[in-house]
C-alpha cells in the first residue's frame, strides 16, 4: 500500500512539473532529431525509468526466489 501511495505522489509531481514546462524543445537522440513538448519529454523519460526499474527489480526478485527454491530442495 505504501508503494502505491509513493507511486501516485511521484506521478502527481511529475505531471505538475510537466504541465508547468510545456514549451517545445529540440530532442536529439543518435540520428533522430525532432521537436516535442517538454512535458512529453519529461513524462516519457520518467516512464522509461519506471519500466527499467521495474524490470531490474523483477529480475532480481525472480533470481532470489530461484536461489531460495534451490536451497530448499537440497
- Residue 55 pLDDT exceeds 90: yes
Q: Find out whether 38 and 22 touch, Cβ atoms under 8 Å.
A: yes
Show the CA angle centred on residue 63, arms to residues 57 and 68, nearest 5°: 125
- Average confidence (pLDDT) over 31-49: 87
Please give the residue range of the domain that contains residue 20. Answer: 2-73
Mean pLDDT across 28-40: 88
| Number of structural domains found in the chain | 1
Average pLDDT, the chain: 85
What pTM, to 2 d.p., does this model score?
Answer: 0.64
User: Does the pLDDT value for residue 30 go beyond 70?
Assistant: yes
* Percentage of the chain modeled with pLDDT above 90: 24
SS3 of residue 23 by DSSP: coil
Amino acid at each position: 500500500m505504501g508503494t502505491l501511495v509513493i507511486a501516485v505522489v511521484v506521478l502527481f509531481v511529475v505531471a505538475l512539473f510537466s504541465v508547468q514546462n510545456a514549451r517545445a524543445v529540440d530532442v536529439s537522440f543518435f540520428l533522430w532529431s525532432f521537436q516535442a513538448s517538454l512535458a512529453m519529454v519529461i513524462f516519457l523519460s520518467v516512464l522509461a525509468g519506471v519500466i527499467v526499474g521495474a524490470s531490474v527489480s523483477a529480475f532480481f526478485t525472480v533470481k532470489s526466489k530461484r536461489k531460495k527454491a534451490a536451497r530448499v530442495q537440497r
